[in-house]
Amino acid sequence: MTLLCAYAATLVLFLAADMVWLGTMTGRFYRPILGDLLLAKPNLIAAGVFYFAYPLGVVIFAVLPALRGGGWQQAALWGGLFGLFTYGTYDLTNQATLRNWSTALTVVDMTWGAVLGAFAAAGATWITARVVS
């Protein structure tokens, strides 16, 4: 029950926050930098795999350890670091290999990954602790 609740809470928080971010920032920030690299419409299968898999990583590396002791603050720290490192892997690899990938894009996206990971992990820990206890 704990794992299921933690995963569901993380998935909902992560997906909702990222949809707001992407809905706001794609046209304002990403498209002007990336131009033709962005698809007109996202690949929904690839996006679906990401959005179902990534929250599981947040649960494994941040939420479950925090539920064992440490609370939402520990979850925020580990979720933020998980987001920073995973988004950093993506962004720095792209910056190293893609022509239009800028340092500004890397910094903004890595920061968003850290904030998003911290938010989803802390929120899911808080919710799960109240629902499961």
pLDDT tens digits, 58-95: 999 999 999 999 999 999 999 999 999 999 999 999 99
Q: Which two tokens stand for residue 21?
A: 């971010």
List of residues 6+ apart from 57 with CB closer than 8 A: 82, 86
The structure's pTM equals 0.94
Q: Are 128 and 58 in contact (CB under 8 A)?
A: no
Cα-to-chain-centroid distance, residue 92? 16
List the single range of 9-13, 50-54, 80-84, 96-100 with lowest mean pLDDT: 96-100
Cα-to-chain-centroid distance, residue 11? 10
Whether residue 133 is predicted with pLDDT greater than 80 in this model: the reply is no
Q: Are 87 and 114 in contact (CB under 8 A)?
A: yes
